[in-house]
């Protein structure tokens, strides 16, 4: 992997394992992305994922996680000690290898535009991607919480979001997306329950109050542990290393007569940062050398596959490498994998190839590129469908006494619904593109493209059927309701595509020869493909003396 981007999204959920697992699954659904780490904290009511990959794959994984968080997290029911303005609170991109900070800023804008357009969530760009100087520091966007941000958006022209609507999303709030250097989340715990002590120390040492350079700090309670914490972000560990931040807290706590309970690192940390401070001098609690960023990246790349915690959900079935006869036999084996969802994706991908043929014959390069991307994604989804099925089987095989079984089943069903739902969405999108190609190709090719659109309709409808079937047995009612909205939208897109492709047959006369005579009512509702072959059929099969009034029309209309 020559170009590597790191993404570290923070989500406002730290208490529901099933929701956090759904976020992990959303990231893992992008085959080339490597999940490096996941953390969740009950007191902060916050989870953090860390993943890497090539730029475009990382952006796609980030969007899928944001979409899942939007479906599952309702800020109206959220309470936690960590400041936040969104269900997906902040999404930073960090350059790791072969990319620049400018590349990361471009990706932040690309993701922000899509989030604003497709999810209707206001997006503010921060740090190196900020378009307005007041938005660059993350703390200024969060100032006053949701209420403060809503007030600024409504009253100050400088606080119109970079993308999306000029008002908060009802359940997801807003999202802050940006580009930044590596950051270390470092916390020091105090052996006291006096929150004012932690707030006072944080206020003294933070840079904004004239304290330690490149250090952000807040004081928060840890109710589950019966203590308070100075939570810090080191934005440039080269200037302010870990041990300096630790000693700053220690000195202030000593003045107040409060002992330290220890310290902790949230997420991953650059190896270089640890070289400046010995582990034991920092009294790290539960630190694992696998948390070193470079070590985890090297291990993931050496395996040539994803992290072991998500390996079973990201290893492809390699259907793309099967010969045609092998593919037929793979589907025919006496196991339900690969099955309906994979077949729907493969049929749709094959139909996309017919469209690509048409674009190359008619030199429609823009549509060709779009169809190539859709075909590639459909091919991936065909493989991921089998992975999702195995994931569900593994969850269902857990003992009934296993307390994590319901969450595992819910999470696996979420993935098993998302995949065929995306197949339906992509197939409907490709079907519209094929209709556009039809307008430019010569008549001999139109029949082939009509076959492609008909199969695309079938693939979308089959995938939607699978999604509905899996959604029906989803035990998580809130998740079920959230996904149901997308199912309805996908159904609308499919019906619109069918409307472009089919038109009602004129009412037949009673004397019409053939099956229509036996059931006139059904004949009236029968639909016929609008192709040249259907328009230029033999002039008359009816015994009626009336002449055929149908004109030839235009091919492929």
Q: Active-site residue numbers?
A: 82
How far apart CA 27 and CA 382 sit, in angstroms, is 17
DSSP lists the bridge partners of residue 229 as 189, 220
Nearest Cα to Cα of residue 435 among 502, 514, 517: 502
Report the 10 Å Cβ neighbour count for 219: 20
Burial of 330 (0-12, 13-18, 19+ CB in 10 A): middle
Q: In 98-250, at which residue ranges do the beta strands (DSSP E only) sit?
A: 123-127, 175-179, 184-190, 215-222, 227-234
**Span between the terminal Cα atoms of the chain, in Å:** 46
CA dihedral 174, 105, 245, 205 (to 10 degrees): -60
Relative to beta strand 502-504, strand 260-266 is unpaired
Burial of 257 (0-12, 13-18, 19+ CB in 10 A): exposed
CB < 8 Å & 24+ apart, contacts of 483-492 = 483/71, 483/414, 483/417, 483/418, 483/421, 486/421, 487/421, 490/421, 490/424, 490/425, 490/428, 490/460, 490/464, 491/464
Instruction: Quote the DSSP letter at residue 138.
Output: H
Q: Is 409 helix (H, G, I), strand (E, B) or coil?
A: helix
Nearest Cα to Cα of residue 337 among 299, 256, 391: 391
DSSP H or E segment with residue 97: strand 88-97
Residue 272: asked if its preceding bond is cis (omega within 30°), the reply is no
How far apart CA 52 and CA 60 sit, in angstroms, is 12
Question: Do residues 505 and 523 lie in contact, with contact meaning Cβ atoms separated by under 8 Å?
Answer: yes
How far apart CA 351 and CA 192 sit, in angstroms, is 65
The encoded tokens of residue 176 equal: 């802050």
How far apart CA 93 and CA 59 sit, in angstroms, is 9
How far apart CA 445 and CA 537 sit, in angstroms, is 18
Question: In whole angstroms, how large is the CA radius of gyration of the chain?
Answer: 28
CB < 8 Å & 24+ apart, contacts of 163-168 = 163/112, 163/113, 163/115, 163/116, 163/117, 163/122, 163/123, 164/112, 164/115, 164/116, 164/117, 164/119, 164/120, 164/121, 164/122, 164/123, 165/116, 165/120, 165/121, 165/122, 166/122, 167/122, 168/122
Question: Do residues 181 and 94 lie in contact, with contact meaning Cβ atoms separated by under 8 Å?
Answer: yes
């Amino acid at each position: 992997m020559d170009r590597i981007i790191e993404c570290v999204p923070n989500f406002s959920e730290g208490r529901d394992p099933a929701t956090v697992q759904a976020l992990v699954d959303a990231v893992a659904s992008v085959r080339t992305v490597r999940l490096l780490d996941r953390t969740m904290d009950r007191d902060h009511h916050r989870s953090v994922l860390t993943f890497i990959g090539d730029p475009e794959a990382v952006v796609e994984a980030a969007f899928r996680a944001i979409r899942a968080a939007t479906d599952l997290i309702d800020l109206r029911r959220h309470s936690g000690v960590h400041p936040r303005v969104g269900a997906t609170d902040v999404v930073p991109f960090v350059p790791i290898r072969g990319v620049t900070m400018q590349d990361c800023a471009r990706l932040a804008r690309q993701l922000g535009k899509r989030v604003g357009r497709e999810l209707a969530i206001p997006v503010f760009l921060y740090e190196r991607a900020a378009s307005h100087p007041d938005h660059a520091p993350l703390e200024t966007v969060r100032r006053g919480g949701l209420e403060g941000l809503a007030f600024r958006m409504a009253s100050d022209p400088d606080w119109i979001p970079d993308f999306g609507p000029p008002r908060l999303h009802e359940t997801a709030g807003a999202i802050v997306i940006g580009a930044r250097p590596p950051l270390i989340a470092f916390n020091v715990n105090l052996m006291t329950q006096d929150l004012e002590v932690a707030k006072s120390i944080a206020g003294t040492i933070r840079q904004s109050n004239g304290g330690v350079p490149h250090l952000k700090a807040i004081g928060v309670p840890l109710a589950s542990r019966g203590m308070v914490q100075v939570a810090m972000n080191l934005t440039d560990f080269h200037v302010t290393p870990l041990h300096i931040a630790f000693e700053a807290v220690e000195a202030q706590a000593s003045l107040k007569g409060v002992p330290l309970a220890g310290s902790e690192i949230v997420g991953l940390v650059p190896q270089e940062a640890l070289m400046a401070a010995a582990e034991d001098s920092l009294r790290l609690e539960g630190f694992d050398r696998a948390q070193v960023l470079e070590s985890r990246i090297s291990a993931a790349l050496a395996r040539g596959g994803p992290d072991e915690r998500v390996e079973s959900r990201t290893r492809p079935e390699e259907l793309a490498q099967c010969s045609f006869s092998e593919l037929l036999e793979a589907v025919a084996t006496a196991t339900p994998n690969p099955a309906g969802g994979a077949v729907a994706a493969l049929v749709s991908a094959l139909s996309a190839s017919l469209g690509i043929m048409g674009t190359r014959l008619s030199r429609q390069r823009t549509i060709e590129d779009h169809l190539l991307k859709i075909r590639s994604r459909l091919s991936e989804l065909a493989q991921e469908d089998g992975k999702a099925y195995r994931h569900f089987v593994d969850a269902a095989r857990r003992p009934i006494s296993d307390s994590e079984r319901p969450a595992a089943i819910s999470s696996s069903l979420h993935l098993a619904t998302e995949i065929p739902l995306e197949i339906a969405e992509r197939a409907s999108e490709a079907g519209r593109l094929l209709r556009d190609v039809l307008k430019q190709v010569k008549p001999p090719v139109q029949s082939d493209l009509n076959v492609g659109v008909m199969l695309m309709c079938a693939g979308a409808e089959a995938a939607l059927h699978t999604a509905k079937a899996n959604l029906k047995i989803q035990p998580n009612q809130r998740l079920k309701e959230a996904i149901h909205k997308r199912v309805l939208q996908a159904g609308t897109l499919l019906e619109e595509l069918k409307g472009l492709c089919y038109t009602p047959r004129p009412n037949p006369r009673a004397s019409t020869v053939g099956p229509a005579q036996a059931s006139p009512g059904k004949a009236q509702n029968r639909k016929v493909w609008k192709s040249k072959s259907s328009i230029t059929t033999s002039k008359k099969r009816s015994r009626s003396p009336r002449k055929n009034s149908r004109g030839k029309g235009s091919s492929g209309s």
